[in-house]
């Protein structure tokens, strides 16, 4: 068995794990990160794309609110290229308790969340699709973020400082000698080989799966309550500002404009399985009904796809049947040397994507304490690769580049303006033949046709590369179509149903994908 040695082994390739790898590598530590799938394929890649101002938690969870606004300001500097500064609104609709608006304003003032009340008329001029009966409106500094772009920027930055990023490597055992964790044994799910990684400190950054990894280390009591929720992407931007209902957090009370679509979220139900991706029809119907309360006519808009995310909610004191809405959104750092007398092991879980950098900083601080070393954190000022100019993403950037050179390079995906050159660059850089992995880096096939027109072109480009047989390319195509289908079928009606029928004719009637060699 091949053995690697390192200072820090990070288990988990979401925003927090990648953030830990970035932070630790900047401090001069040798890092290996392992992830059982592709990066940001778990909770981080399954949320509504919102960077919180803290307003959502100002009344119910002041600690989470303070953390959110502090990290919001930092992310605007260090991850500017991954974010769009949409701003946010909290509005009181006819369905909300008018008295909550005062509590909201007071909560923002007490937690330091910038909050400016504007007139309903002004809010309706800025967002004309909002419910015309809104009675109060508050402006806050919410934003959106491309999480896949962010996580890959963290990974690339860590690699530039010597880190090794091993995707599709699943942990099968935690190596322990007495009270000392020595690292982990992992299985390369693509190469089929086992690998032993010896580390001075092992970081469990697996979020909703943190309890399972802790159990592999022989540590009990790391109780994470997975909170499952669905989100629905609409075909276009119904709003250009993040819009929240001014009420205590509940289901379907946020609409987030993210890139070319808008996302409504989210439900919240306890599940025992962090891999639970169940989508129930009643949840879809509920979400569409809730959208009507913010944007009348929401149900008549085209629902593009639905997906499920599982929040990692940590709570030591409460029973497993706790309502997940009542568990704090703040994070939990468990230094197992202090907590369980087990050296060389740290768990970080809970929290929000908005606070991943803070979570990583505190985690690496704990790692350094266990190592007996003092190393300063610089992630609050060091920009991620691609964000050195500190310029925010602007909607229409890709279109503007194409319009400047209409006769230039071929477009593979018209919906998301993905060029052939960009596709080939990502394939070459990652070495991946998985079209779904490539999708996350380019937004390939994430537009209205959900890959109906672009993915067979991308498959052809993939097949044209040296060493990839037709059977491998066909298998990648079929896996992509199956994965897209999971999120499309629960919202099949109207225009989306007609699009799905057209895609079916293309792939079955023209390409006969069911009988391709694979």
pLDDT at 314: 85
pLDDT at 409: 82
pLDDT of residue 367 exceeding 90, the answer is yes
The residue ranking higher by pLDDT, 267 or 319, is: 267
pLDDT of residue 473 exceeding 60, the answer is yes
In a domain? residue 492: yes
pLDDT at 322: 44
- Count the Cβ atoms, other than its own, within 10 Å of residue 40: 26
Q: Residue 196, exposed/middle/buried by CB under 10 A (0-12, 13-18, 19+)?
A: middle
pLDDT band at residue 321, thresholds of 50, 70 and 90?
very low
Do residue 136 and residue 252 come from a single domain?
yes
Do residue 304 and residue 410 come from a single domain?
no
pLDDT of residue 188 exceeding 60, the answer is yes
Do residue 136 and residue 256 come from a single domain?
yes
Least confident of 174-183, 230-239, 430-439, 509-518: 509-518
Most confident of 197-211, 424-438, 471-485: 197-211
pLDDT at 456: 93
- Going by C-alpha positions, the residue among 19, 100, 14, 94 that lies closest to residue 56 is 100
Do residue 132 and residue 232 come from a single domain?
yes
Domain boundary among 287, 309, 331: 309
- Count the Cβ atoms, other than its own, within 10 Å of residue 159: 17
192: Cβ contacts below 8 Å, ≥ 6 apart = none
Q: Which two tokens stand for residue 158?
A: 């860590």
Query: What sign for the dihedral angle of Cα 488, 492, 494, 497?
Result: positive
168: Cβ contacts below 8 Å, ≥ 6 apart = 35, 36, 37, 38, 188, 189, 190
What is the DSSP code string of 249-263? S-TT-EEEEETTEEE
- HEC-encoded secondary structure of 466-492: CCCCHHHHHHHHHHHHHHHHHHHHHHC
- Per residue in 445-469, pLDDT (tens digit) is 998 889 999 999 999 999 988 778 8
What kind and span of H or E run contains 349?
Answer: strand 345-350
Looking at the structure of the chain, the number of domains it has is 2
- Going by C-alpha positions, the residue among 350, 379, 344, 346 that lies closest to residue 158 is 379
**Distance in angstroms (rounded) separating the CA atoms of residues 106 and 108:** 5
Mean per-residue pLDDT, 272-290: 93
What is the DSSP code string of 186-209? EEETTT--EEEEEEEEEEE--GGG
pLDDT at 327: 47
What kind and span of H or E run contains 139?
Answer: strand 136-140
In a domain? residue 95: yes
Task: Compute CA 182 distance to the chain's CA centroid, rounded to the nearest angstrom.
Answer: 30
In a domain? residue 102: yes
Query: What sign for the dihedral angle of Cα 294, 394, 160, 152?
Result: positive
pLDDT of residue 518 exceeding 80, the answer is no
Percent of the chain with pLDDT over 70: 97
CA distances from 393 to 22, 81, 387, 416, 417 (A): 22, 5, 10, 14, 15
- Going by C-alpha positions, the residue among 261, 257, 272, 263 that lies closest to residue 230 is 263
Q: Which two tokens stand for residue 134?
A: 């809104």
Instruction: Read off the CATH number of the domain in which 250 is found.
Output: 3.30.9.10
CB 476 within 8 A of CB 435: yes
- Going by C-alpha positions, the residue among 203, 183, 230, 218 that lies closest to residue 349 is 203
Do residue 131 and residue 280 come from a single domain?
yes
Do residue 409 and residue 293 come from a single domain?
no
Do residue 249 and residue 123 come from a single domain?
yes
SS3 call for 149 = helix
- Per residue in 132-177, pLDDT (tens digit) is 999 999 999 999 999 999 999 999 999 999 999 999 999 999 999 9
pLDDT band at residue 406, thresholds of 50, 70 and 90?
confident
Domain boundary among 261, 284, 309: 309
pLDDT at 318: 34
In a domain? residue 325: no
Task: Compute CA 204 distance to the chain's CA centroid, rounded to the nearest angstrom.
Answer: 18
Mean pLDDT of the chain: 93
pLDDT of residue 26 exceeding 90, the answer is yes
pLDDT at 329: 54
**Distance in angstroms (rounded) separating the CA atoms of residues 393 and 2:** 42
pLDDT band at residue 407, thresholds of 50, 70 and 90?
confident
- Per residue in 282-301, pLDDT (tens digit) is 999 999 999 999 999 999 99
- Per residue in 48-90, pLDDT (tens digit) is 999 999 999 999 999 999 999 999 999 999 999 999 999 999 9
**Distance in angstroms (rounded) separating the CA atoms of residues 57 and 75:** 19
Do residue 281 and residue 408 come from a single domain?
no
**Distance in angstroms (rounded) separating the CA atoms of residues 180 and 184:** 12
286: containing domain: 81-143+225-309
- Count the Cβ atoms, other than its own, within 10 Å of residue 208: 27
Do residue 296 and residue 412 come from a single domain?
no
In a domain? residue 118: yes
SS3 call for 47 = coil
Do residue 299 and residue 403 come from a single domain?
no
Do residue 295 and residue 415 come from a single domain?
no
Domain boundary among 309, 339, 373: 309
In a domain? residue 334: no
In a domain? residue 388: no
Q: Residue 183, exposed/middle/buried by CB under 10 A (0-12, 13-18, 19+)?
A: buried
Mean per-residue pLDDT, 307-333: 66
pTM: 0.94
pLDDT at 328: 52
The residue ranking higher by pLDDT, 163 or 410, is: 163
What is the DSSP code string of 244-308? EESSSS-TT-EEEEETTEEEEE---EE-S-TT-----HHHHHHHHHHHHHHSTTGGGS-EEEEEE
In a domain? residue 270: yes
**Distance in angstroms (rounded) separating the CA atoms of residues 479 and 485:** 10
Do residue 286 and residue 405 come from a single domain?
no
pLDDT band at residue 514, thresholds of 50, 70 and 90?
confident
**Distance in angstroms (rounded) separating the CA atoms of residues 169 and 184:** 11
pLDDT of residue 333 exceeding 90, the answer is yes
Least confident of 32-46, 209-223, 403-417: 403-417
């Amino acid at each position: 068995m091949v053995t690697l040695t390192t200072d820090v082994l990070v288990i988990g390739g979401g925003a927090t794990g990648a953030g830990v790898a970035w932070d630790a590598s900047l401090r001069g530590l040798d890092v290996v990160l392992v992830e059982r799938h592709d990066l940001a394929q778990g909770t981080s890649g399954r949320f509504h794309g919102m960077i919180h101002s803290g307003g959502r938690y100002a009344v119910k969870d002041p600690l989470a609110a303070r953390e959110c606004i502090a990290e919001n300001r930092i992310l605007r500097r260090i991850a500017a290229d991954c974010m769009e500064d949409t701003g946010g609104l909290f509005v009181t609709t006819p369905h909300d308790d008018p008295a909550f608006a005062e509590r909201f304003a007071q909560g923002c003032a007490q937690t330091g969340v910038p909050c400016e009340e504007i007139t309903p008329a002004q809010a309706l001029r800025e967002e004309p699709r909002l419910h015309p009966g809104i009675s109060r409106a508050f402006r806050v500094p919410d934003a959106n973020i491309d999480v896949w772009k962010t996580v890959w920027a963290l990974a690339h930055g860590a690699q530039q400082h010597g880190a090794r990023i091993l995707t599709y490597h699943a942990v099968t055992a935690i190596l322990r000698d007495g009270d000392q964790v020595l690292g982990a044994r992992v299985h390369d799910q693509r190469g089929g080989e086992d690998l032993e990684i010896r580390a001075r400190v092992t970081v469990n950054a697996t979020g909703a799966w943190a309890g399972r990894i802790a159990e592999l280390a022989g540590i009990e009591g790391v109780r994470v309550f997975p909170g499952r929720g669905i989100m629905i992407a609409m075909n276009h931007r119904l709003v250009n500002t993040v819009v929240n209902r001014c009420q205590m957090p509940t289901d379907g009370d946020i609409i987030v404009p993210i890139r070319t679509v808008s996302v409504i979220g989210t439900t919240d139900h306890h599940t025992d399985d962090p891999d639970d991706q169940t989508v129930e029809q009643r949840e879809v119907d509920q979400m569409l009904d809730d959208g009507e309360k913010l944007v009348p006519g929401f149900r008549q808009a085209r629902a593009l796809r639905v997906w499920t995310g599982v929040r990692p909610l940590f709570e030591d004191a409460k029973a497993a049947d706790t309502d997940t809405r009542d568990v704090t959104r703040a994070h939990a750092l468990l230094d197992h040397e202090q907590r369980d007398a087990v050296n060389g092991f740290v768990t970080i879980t809970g929290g929000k994507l908005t606070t991943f950098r803070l979570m990583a900083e505190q985690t690496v601080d704990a790692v350094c304490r266990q190592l007996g070393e003092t190393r300063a954190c610089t992630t609050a000022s060091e920009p991620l690769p691609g964000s050195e100019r500190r310029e925010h993403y602007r909607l229409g950037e890709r279109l503007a580049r194409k319009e400047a050179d209409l006769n230039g390079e071929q477009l593979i995906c018209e919906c998301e303006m993905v060029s052939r050159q960009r596709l080939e660059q990502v394939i070459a850089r990652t070495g991946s033949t998985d079209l779904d992995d490539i999708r996350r880096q380019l937004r390939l096939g994430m537009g209205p046709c959900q890959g109906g027109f672009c993915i067979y072109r991308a498959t052809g480009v993939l097949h044209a590369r040296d060493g990839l047989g037709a059977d491998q390319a066909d298998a990648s195509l079929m896996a992509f179509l199956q994965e897209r289908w999971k999120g499309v079928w629960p919202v099949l009606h109207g225009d989306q149903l007609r699009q799905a029928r057209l895609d079916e004719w293309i792939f079955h009637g023209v390409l006969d994908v069911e009988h391709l060699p694979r």
